[in-house]
Amino acid sequence: MVGRDRLLGFVSLLAAACSGGDAPAGRIDLSRGFAPAEARVEVEIEIERADWEALGDGIWRTRMLVPTYRAENAATRPTLAVGERELTLFDRRWASALWARLPDGVDADMRAAFLDRLPRESTFSVARDTAFLVLRDTDELFEQATLRLALELGAEQDGFWRVALGPLKANGIPLFPGRAEELSIDLPANGLLRFATAAFGHTEDGRPVRFRVLVDGRTSFEVEQPLDECVRAQRHVVRLDGTRRPGATLRFEVDGPPCVAAFLNPVLEREPPDDPRLPNVVLVSADTFRADNLAVYGGLPELTPHLNRFAEGARVVRVAHATSSWTLPSHASMLAGLYPHQAAADTRASRLSEDARTLAEVLREHGYRTGAVTERGFVSRTYGLDQGFEWFHEEQGPVESTLELFEELLDADDGRPFFLFFHSYRAHHPYVVSPRTRERLGAQLGLAGLPDDPPAQTPTADLLALYRGGSADMDAAFGALWSMLRARGLLADTFVVFTSDHGEAFGEHGVQRHGSGVWEELVRVPLIVSGPGVAAGFVDGPRSLASVPTTICELLGLPPWPAWSGPGALAAAGPGAVYAFQCSGGAPNHAAIIAGQRKVIATTSRGDSGLADLAHAYDLSRDPAERRDLADSEVAWPRELMQRFSERERFLFEATVGGAAAAVSQEQEDELRAMGYAGD
């Protein structure tokens, strides 16, 4: 089926692409303003008796050979028909739970619990690439059935068509095999067509996916690539013939087995200009990484040698605080320049609103290539953190795989400066230490005999040792990333910002892990910046993680978004105070105000609408570990500091953008639970 023609003159399209200043002259992003002829594809699959695999107790499964993944590609309106009869669809959350257990086997206890919650008649459901069938006693496995469903092929976001291919979400032109899209456009002389090809799905007969681009009916590009459930894109540059061609037809085609395929980040451009470009930016978020892992913040010198060397030649913020003690609200601040309640990303059920203006969006508007690789969890498109990123790859896995994805993204040069975001849970629970680190630091940290992913009853000192070992592995990952930049000669033109979203507690104030409270071990984070013109040395704090977007724009000489928190972290004059919010669904909830070396912790009123009562106060210059509570002392400053907050900065509790709910799949819930997030 051929997509509808879309007449787009070169001049008018270029003007549209450049509105807001987001593209260099002569560069057209074909995903901007694009909408596919079919945003939803109806799929019909014939399933024979031999295709079903028994799981026991009347539960059967079959691979559908059609990929589904979370909300963006979710197979909607599935039906399973046996002749004229349609089976009832059961709750797809249970299907997701079954799918997650398939690698380890679905045991009898789970089958029993599963069957107790289902209707008494035969029923079915789907999850990812699998259809599940439950036959009750009155039914036998049928000879043939027809599964019908609809696949979503993306949606418009911020003026671009966004395509979800498994763990990857990017701007692009989606296609189901056997379909095509056509664009009518004026081609420039000596033009270049840049794009990546990727497909998500699997095939049992090994058939590849064929991508093809035709210009006025003549094939200009053709490639075959294997169908890949891991989604590894291949990047291409097609040089068009040397003459200008008004009203040319660009046709994008895909053939092969059932899958979701796409031409990603498709761009039409003239020969790249020789003009100097702005510096690059790499933002590294080491999740759950305490400041005191680094020697520059008082840590063990042998623990993080790569980061220690980086800090020696960089600008180090002596006292930096996260805006919360868990991942989502702090990353919303890091990427959108707002405090958690302002960003309305302050509960597990929320997501960063599209009304927020992210650093990636601002840099994209100034001609930057924007990309991110994350290890999923809360740093996910489900929670809105992909806003502004042309390429957003989220995938749980070892940090080595995340580094490989980052390297692929680093090498996807298209002539523009880049802003790349790297995120890893390497130091996060469950604490895992590599053999190399055990050999290097085992005796010093006391790791002998300690297992990875330790049981709950493990002594706190042993948990801390394992955490430090995982932090050493995160340091090695940073060293590998730094080496990638150095090997490509990029360090002289690249700002590198290293930070974390929060710390980790090991019983210092009766708290384990993170998310409960705003103590220093939970919200004190590293913040280190290097790059062209950045002098090595220190910046006295306090500074906030919410200042990261402003900091980066100031380094680049670009105007920060007016609503962002400021000033930048490297500015000579810092803010009067910085703030951290617990953002927990439980009670009590707390917020911290840090002004100079003074810190107060207060309970927050119902619904986090403001401060309620003074809970703790500390002079961090004399008591950095928060052991001597001054809240009940005769000193006046704790209440004065609280009063100043209440009078002047209550707006930090108010959302400045519209709130949005996160559509969290059962699979993601299971992932978060395995990471220790059992509740709010």
**Torsion angle in degrees (nearest 10) through CA of 239, 243, 245, 246:** 130
Q: Which residue segment(s) compose the domain that 60 sits in?
A: 41-151
Instruction: Take residue 536 and report the two structure tokens written for it.
Output: 């090595």
**Which of these three, 237, 269, 301, is where a domain ends?**
269
As a whole number of angstroms, the distance between CA 572 and CA 207 comes to 60
Contact 17, 185 (CB under 8 A): no
pLDDT at 6 (0 to 100): 35
What's the Rg (C-alpha) of the chain?
A: 27
> Is the model's pLDDT at 410 over the cut of 90?
yes
Give domain status of residue 678, yes or no.
Answer: no
* For range 326-352, the mean pLDDT: 88
Model confidence band, residue 419 (pLDDT cutoffs 50, 70, 90): very high
Give domain status of residue 679, yes or no.
Answer: no
We report the CATH number of the domain holding residue 372 as: 3.40.720.10
pLDDT at 271 (0 to 100): 65
Give domain status of residue 1, yes or no.
Answer: no
Instruction: Take residue 495 and report the two structure tokens written for it.
Output: 């700002």
Percent of the chain with pLDDT over 70: 86
* Strand locations in 166-279 (E): 168-175, 180-187, 192-200, 209-215, 218-225, 234-239, 245-255, 260-269
Are both 443 and 307 inside the same structural domain?
yes
**Which of these three, 239, 269, 299, is where a domain ends?**
269
Q: How far is CA 502 from the centre of its chain?
A: 16
> Is the model's pLDDT at 437 over the cut of 90?
yes
pLDDT at 43 (0 to 100): 78
Q: What is the pLDDT of residues 132-179, one digit of tens each?
A: 888 876 678 888 888 887 777 888 888 899 998 888 899 999 998 888
Summary mean pLDDT of the chain: 83
pLDDT at 25 (0 to 100): 54
Are both 486 and 340 inside the same structural domain?
yes
Q: How many domains does the chain have?
A: 3
Q: What is the pLDDT of residues 220-231, one digit of tens each?
A: 999 999 886 667
pLDDT at 402 (0 to 100): 94
Model confidence band, residue 273 (pLDDT cutoffs 50, 70, 90): low
Q: Which pairs count as long-range contacts for 71-75, CB under 8 Å and 24+ apart, including other chains?
A: 71/382, 71/663, 71/665, 72/152, 72/154, 72/155, 72/162, 72/164, 72/169, 72/381, 73/151, 73/152, 73/153, 73/164, 73/165, 73/166, 73/200, 73/260, 74/152, 75/43, 75/126, 75/149, 75/150, 75/151
> Is the model's pLDDT at 20 over the cut of 80?
no
Are both 228 and 298 inside the same structural domain?
no
Phi and psi based region of residue 198 (left: phi greater than 0; alpha: psi -120 to 50; beta: remaining): beta
Give domain status of residue 2, yes or no.
Answer: no
Model confidence band, residue 653 (pLDDT cutoffs 50, 70, 90): confident
Give domain status of residue 275, yes or no.
Answer: no
Give domain status of residue 316, yes or no.
Answer: yes
Instruction: Supply φ then ψ for residue 503, to 5 degrees.
Output: -100, -150
CB-based contacts of 481, cutoff 8 Å, min separation 6: 282, 284, 403, 406, 422
pLDDT at 258 (0 to 100): 79
Are both 196 and 312 inside the same structural domain?
no
Give the burial string for 176-206 (b: 16+ CB within 10 Å, else e): bbebbbbbebbbbeebbbbbbbbbbbbbeee
Are both 147 and 158 inside the same structural domain?
no
Model confidence band, residue 263 (pLDDT cutoffs 50, 70, 90): very high
> Is the model's pLDDT at 606 over the cut of 60?
no
Model confidence band, residue 546 (pLDDT cutoffs 50, 70, 90): very high
As a whole number of angstroms, the distance between CA 164 and CA 199 comes to 10
Instruction: Take residue 411 and report the two structure tokens written for it.
Output: 């090498």
Model confidence band, residue 537 (pLDDT cutoffs 50, 70, 90): very high
Are both 52 and 160 inside the same structural domain?
no
pLDDT at 65 (0 to 100): 57
We report the CATH number of the domain holding residue 12 as: 2.60.120
Q: What is the pLDDT of residues 76-86, one digit of tens each?
A: 568 888 888 88
> Is the model's pLDDT at 4 over the cut of 50?
no
Q: What is the pLDDT of residues 61-74, one digit of tens each?
A: 887 655 554 444 44
Model confidence band, residue 587 (pLDDT cutoffs 50, 70, 90): low
> Is the model's pLDDT at 513 over the cut of 80?
no
Q: Where are the alpha helices (DSSP H) in 381-494?
A: 399-410, 435-445, 460-487
Question: Closest Cα to residue 370, out of 283, 485, 287?
Answer: 283
Are both 466 and 576 inside the same structural domain?
yes
pLDDT at 70 (0 to 100): 44
Are both 164 and 313 inside the same structural domain?
no
Question: Closest Cα to residue 515, out of 465, 586, 604?
Answer: 586
Are both 219 and 94 inside the same structural domain?
no
Are both 429 and 552 inside the same structural domain?
yes
pLDDT at 295 (0 to 100): 95
Give domain status of residue 608, yes or no.
Answer: yes
Give the burial string for 538-577 (b: 16+ CB within 10 Å, else e): ebebbbbbbbbbbbbbbbbeeebbeebbbbbbbeeebbeb
Instruction: Take residue 236 and report the two structure tokens written for it.
Output: 């291409």
Are both 553 and 595 inside the same structural domain?
yes
Q: What is the pLDDT of residues 311-335, one digit of tens each?
A: 999 999 999 999 998 899 999 999 9
pLDDT at 19 (0 to 100): 37
Q: What is the pLDDT of residues 561-586, one digit of tens each?
A: 998 987 888 887 778 889 898 887 66
pLDDT at 2 (0 to 100): 34
Model confidence band, residue 197 (pLDDT cutoffs 50, 70, 90): very high
What is this structure's pTM?
A: 0.85
Give domain status of residue 13, yes or no.
Answer: yes
Are both 202 and 310 inside the same structural domain?
no
